[in-house]
Chain A
């Protein structure tokens, strides 16, 4: 067991000048310029309590990195720690600082009870490039497990650290890592709403859209380049799709009544959406360019919160057609719906694990709204969270963690729990009311 707490604040962080070009604030003058720029400075804090039963003890030696400010070993260590699969050892007591496998004195690290050791260095290349070299070694077998070299622009250093963490994670656990991915969420502060995107560690938050009216239901395109969301800026819910690279956006659906609950198909060509166009909330499919609208569900009840199964064959959704809100599924081509949840009198917000085997949802557990996980093969259900108003569960790219929002007092904050329930984290944003997180795909 361990407990870690670290506040990451980009006010004091020198990485500010190496933000990726695509995110550099191209502030076109509009009304609330000052408010907008203050949004970009909110950072997330991360707390971890509990841990996996079998954590790999690993030493991450500070990289030789000269004048490069960003502490790459710290970023890698934090990523591994947060996964719950690693015990990152304190290396301060060891005098030697190997930067390559040949320099490792294995006895020192064996005495520290490290099973694995990561070493590396950063060299500054001509033309404002950096060369990051990294090697991972097995302390007991005294051999190299993997080595990587990255030739990068300075603004890719954090991403490179996350990629190295994912290489280590994969080599030592046999599964892909989640560190080189991003999360999106809605941050409400001072009566305004911001759709923000941050790195999976909560760092580097960037505002995608800012509005005086509510923004809800963000949904990542499968390739991570766009986000669909619902904005009330025109005093009614309208669905937009916005490119993260260019900031350009299109209106996906602006029909009479509500337009909401966008969810991308796995191939990114279509979305399932909810309209009240004809009458009550019903699920439709629509091409990502706004064409080919098609009614999918037909009921006199509320049908909403559609989500595609990873094999694209099914669309799962919430409906109160049976009296209480439950989760149903319908073929993506249409047809009769079948009920999926039977335990409890209130199950909403279905979200699939990447392998399609687990379904996360929100369950009313005696008046408390909590994250539950249903095994779709066995039907078994497990409650995973402990809040009173938990919402929006979404899986990490490797399916190990589930990100959701929980309420502390009157403010929402981000939390994550491993899909086996053993590792729990809280990512609290200072000052805002954070809601509706959604975990995006891995970055290339």
Chain B
């Protein structure tokens, strides 16, 4: 019961965070309005928690997540390593990333409520749409690796940014390589 209420409050705080994030990054049409988005933003605003109790609930969640996250954030723990790198135009997960993936699989199996987003990326060479598809294939390749280790799909989301988040102006493969990767992002990060 308590947990459910907490979850509701957590949801409220997440919504607040979402609205604030939306404002910060201003994902909006100029004059032509994103009709449905604006409506969503203005409708959700009045529902935001406005009293002290909710504020304390936000604090509680943050503290909890920090505690459960310590292994994920500890630089000496392999779980703090979140990047899996790939060869050019390839989605093959290389053997050297095996221990990293195994560690995250173990963590996910031990924490049934933990969720990860696998974010695929590509280097700047080639077309945007092809790289979007390639980034997706990379994130799915990592997901399959986790699946083979017993992690369920409900704990995993795959996303691709293609080359949109890539560093531009690379002149050698050492630079390109850093963009050909899947990032493991925990929902609690």
Chain A positions near chain B (C-beta within 8 angstroms): 23-28, 30-32, 35-36, 39-40, 192, 194, 206-214, 216-217, 231-233, 235-237, 240, 242-244, 246-251, 257-258, 260-261, 274, 276, 279-281, 302, 304-305, 318, 320, 325, 346, 348-349, 362, 364, 369, 389, 391-392, 407, 409-410, 435-436
Contact = CB atoms under 8 A, between A and B. Distances in A.
Contacts of A258: 132-133, 136, 160
A248 B164 contact: no
B127 A249 contact: no
Interface of B: 22-38, 89, 124-130, 132-134, 136-137, 140, 158-162, 164-165, 168-169
A389 B124 contact: yes
Contacts of A280: 133, 136-137, 140
Contacts of B168: 407, 410
B188 to A, nearest CB: 16
A233 B25 CA distance: 9
A118 B127 CA distance: 43
Given A232-B164, A281-B133, 18 more contacts: A24-B31, A27-B30, A31-B28, A35-B26, A211-B25, A211-B26, A217-B129, A233-B37, A248-B35, A258-B132, A274-B133, A281-B132, A304-B130, A304-B132, A305-B130, A318-B129, A318-B130, A369-B126
Contacts of B22: 31
A434 to B, nearest CB: 13
A209 B32 contact: yes
A302 B24 CA distance: 35
B27 A212 contact: yes
B91 to A, nearest CB: 9
B161 A232 contact: yes
Contacts of B126: 325, 346, 348, 362, 364, 369
Contacts of A213: 25, 27
Contacts of B27: 211-213, 231, 233
A240 B168 CA distance: 27
18 contacts: A23-B31, A28-B33, A31-B26, A32-B28, A206-B30, A208-B32, A209-B29, A213-B27, A242-B32, A244-B32, A248-B32, A249-B34, A274-B129, A276-B136, A280-B136, A348-B126, A391-B128, A436-B128
Of all A-B residue pairs in the complex, the 10 with the closest CB atoms, nearest first, are A247-B32, A212-B25, A233-B27, A281-B133, A32-B26, A214-B164, A410-B169, A207-B30, A302-B133, A31-B26
Contacts of B32: 208-209, 242-244, 246-249
A391 B129 CA distance: 11
A364 to B, nearest CB: 8
Contacts of B89: 320, 325
Contact of B26 (A206, A210, A214): A210
Contacts of B132: 216, 237, 258, 260-261, 281, 304
Given A237-B160, A258-B132, A247 B29 contact: yes
A192 B164 CA distance: 12
B71 to A, nearest CB: 25
B136 A212 contact: no
Contacts of B134: 302
Nearest to B23: A31
Nearest to A411: B168
Nearest to B170: A410
B59 to A, nearest CB: 25
A240 B28 CA distance: 13
Contacts of A349: 127, 129
B33 A247 contact: yes
Contact of B133 (A30, A211, A304): A304
B47 to A, nearest CB: 19
Contacts of B25: 211-213
Contacts of A302: 130, 133-134, 137
Given A209-B32, A242-B29, A236 B133 contact: no
The winner among A246, A257, A436 for most chain B CB atoms within 10 A is: A257
Contacts of B130: 302, 304-305, 318, 325, 348
A209 B23 contact: no
Most interface-central of B36, B158, B168 (chain A CB within 10 A): B168
A182 to B, nearest CB: 15
Contacts of A304: 129-130, 132-133
Nearest to A367: B125
A27 to B, nearest CB: 6
A155 to B, nearest CB: 16
Contacts of B161: 214, 232
Q: Which of B25, B125, B128 has the most CB of A within 10 A?
A: B128
B26 A261 contact: no
Given A237-B160, A248-B35, A249-B35, A30 B28 contact: yes
Contacts of B29: 208-210, 242, 247, 249
Contact of A236 (B30, B140, B159): B159
A261 B124 contact: no
A225 to B, nearest CB: 12
B160 A36 contact: no
B61 to A, nearest CB: 20
A276 B136 CA distance: 8
A320 to B, nearest CB: 8
A194 B33 CA distance: 13
A304 to B, nearest CB: 5
A30 to B, nearest CB: 5
Nearest to B130: A348
A251 B36 contact: yes
A214 B168 CA distance: 14
Given A249-B29, A249-B32, A280-B140, A348 B127 contact: yes
A25 to B, nearest CB: 5
B141 to A, nearest CB: 11
